[in-house]
Amino acid sequence: MNKEPMQQEKEINEENLTAEKEEIENLLKAIEELEKAKQKSRENKPRNLISIEFGGVFHHNIFVNFIFSFILNLTLIYLVIEIFRFAEYTDIIYIVILALTYTFFETVYKTYVLFNHFSFVIKSMGFVFYFGYVAIFYTLDVYVFGDLFSFNNEALLIAFVAIFTIVRYIIGTMLIKNFRKRNLK
């Protein structure tokens, strides 16, 4: 007599376990389906990515990035000076040397400020870079090149740096976006 109630309990427990297993399996299937649907919606949705780049990095290799920056700086320095006649120079080679020197000091300056005074960059909304660029161009104009290359006056130097910085930012952003698009596909 004692065996029957125990066997009945055992059968009831087995039925409950079977029902619980089925329920758990159904829940796992539902979770998997939800994850698949979520992943599909992520894949179909275009990623809206907002990024702020204070350094304007074209390439992760420092030498390749320096060469890209130099070429961009040389092109824009020459174009802005020629279009607006902000400066006088005796030979085109001095613009090349100016661009090379400027690119070197700009890279050092940006790296130093970003690694050591990032909070100041945020607080000044990036204007610390503009003032640094003015200081670099002023120093190169007055102390390095002398009469070989010189801005016509200080106001034109400030206007040059403003135009140069804005145009370089726009073109640099377009180039970086284009490079990333090509590398991602």
Residues 47 and 27: their CA atoms lie apart, in Å, by 30
Collapsing DSSP to helix, strand or coil, 52 comes out as: coil
Domain boundaries, the chain: 1-48, 62-184
User: Whole-structure pTM over 0.85, yes or no?
Assistant: no
pLDDT (tens digit per residue) in 16-74: 777 778 888 888 888 888 888 777 766 665 555 444 454 456 667 889 889 989 999 99
Output phi, psi for 55, to 5 deg: -95, -20
Output phi, psi for 85, to 5 deg: 55, 50
pLDDT (tens digit per residue) in 73-132: 999 999 999 999 999 999 999 999 999 999 999 999 998 998 999 888 889 888 999 999
Both tokens of 51, joined, read 């990024």
